[in-house]
Structure 1
């Protein structure tokens, strides 16, 4: 990555209100708006592509296995797939939003403009995570709207749906910041997605009930935080889940809290942002 912080001025640069607890709305809104414009400009890639990918999953898995797999009483396998695919898309897109924004700014050198601004680490963190939550939520809503056109999907507990959407997307937005701060090249972000994020989401009960697993695979799934987020999210639709919804809530809060605190701390320390 090119050295963009070569002067002593940039090497010692910290936001002017670093020690202040005051959070200002206008700077947060400005950065949030900039981040939403960034993914909105390429909506075919950021919003439409996940929708098409999810539609293909529904067509292939729903039609191939729909008549052979039964998970919850009175719920078709295709309907069972929808919440899992929705949350998988929410998680992956929330991560992609913050991680791609940060690594792109670092590689091109544009990160200097963010560091020169009077934004505090808390304000940067809040704006970027909020933009990630928005992108993930928009993708999830578009998938649900499409699925409702030809499937009956109950929404028995909409509050749980909202809670787990926010927890999952904010946690992944924070994890994306961590990955973006750590990475120095685009292929490192791709590796993080391909070898960590995607396996964890695919093995989190998106396409199956964890209760159907036996032995080691079931135990491994129970240590996967994504499983609890997806399972709690699915409870909001069907009022049924593999684990207690309260356990899912606790894991979701812990996941969002730990990743958020770590991302904020790394931003405050200027981790890999200054030589």
Structure 2
């Protein structure tokens, strides 16, 4: 979409800092302007998940991996809520722009493909962090759960938001209509999130399903966040960081290539 190779050095320098900051600010203001929908609603959904599982299963389930069942599922619900909101932030921004015909307002300014990706990802990470902090405070107040490794928890929230934000960019560029976006959400994103060890330890799975789960990047995000909060996990935390970082870089590279080619963005 942007033929910067033929343009040489831009008058803004190697990085258009003002343009990137403006796009980041716009993406942050998008979800802050409708905070009841983008921030309050996810908190209510997470609270309902915790309440339902606590009432229906919690008292009889016993411990999982040495911790109470409600404590075990809490980190998974936190990460699942974070990644769903990060995905929604980037995908909805791009799809709405394409449907309304104002995506050109984002593509015409002198922003390189990399700067576009960074701008969208900052919005996704910001929304993910807001949601994570709110849910973490709720878990601390009502369940007494405090992070065992707070720095690692922050890192996983940022990685999870960046990964699913990048997936949202790819999905948003690919989808030309809202029903296409809904199909991606319902048949790809939601199953990957729910079948990633959010509500169970993968040791309880049959061998084939357990092997398949190891190829799901979201499993490592949820498992890593569980370790950061509770100190227990199904896989090595270092492996989780490596997979999450590698997956984020890979999907961001795809998003970068899409913007560079103008894939499904040109009129």
TM over 0.5: yes
Q: Indicate yes or no: 2:60 matched with 1:72.
A: no
Displacement of 1:19: 5.8
Partner of 1:189: 181
* Structure 2: distance between partners of 1:115 and 1:156: 43
Aligned residues: 262
Larger displacement relative to structure 2 (175-184 or 119-128): 119-128
8 A contact 1:66–1:78 mirrored in 2: yes
Larger displacement relative to structure 2 (215-224 or 25-34): 215-224
Displacement of 1:62: 1.5
8 A contact 2:128–2:158 mirrored in 1: no
Q: Indicate yes or no: 2:235 matched with 1:264.
A: no
Q: Indicate yes or no: 2:132 matched with 1:169.
A: no
* Structure 2: distance between partners of 1:228 and 1:161: 13
Matches within 5 A, 1:216-227: 216-227=208-219
Partner of 1:5: none
Instruction: Specify which of 40, 43, 46 is matched with residue 48 of structure 1.
Output: 40
Q: What is the alpha-carbon root mean square deviation over aligned residues?
A: 1.6
* Structure 1: distance between partners of 2:93 and 2:254: 18
* Ranges in structure 1 where 5+ consecutive residues have no aligned partner: 1-12
8 A contact 1:167–1:253 mirrored in 2: yes
| TM-score computed with the length of structure 1 as normaliser | 0.91
Q: 1:257 to 1:129 in 2, by over 3 A?
A: same
Give the 3-state SS of the residue equivalent to 1:243 in structure 2.
Answer: coil
Give the 3-state SS of the residue equivalent to 1:67 in structure 2.
Answer: helix
Partner of 1:150: 142
Partner of 2:84: 92
Displacement of 1:247: 1.3
Displacement of 1:273: 1.0
Matches within 5 A, 1:190-269: 190-269=182-261
Partner of 1:104: 96
For residues 64-105 of structure 1, the C-alpha deviation after alignment (integer angstroms, 9 at most, x for no partner) is 2112221132x2211111110010011111010000000100
* Structure 2: distance between partners of 1:49 and 1:15: 41
* Structure 1: distance between partners of 2:131 and 2:207: 35
8 A contact 1:181–1:272 mirrored in 2: yes
* Structure 1: distance between partners of 2:217 and 2:185: 16
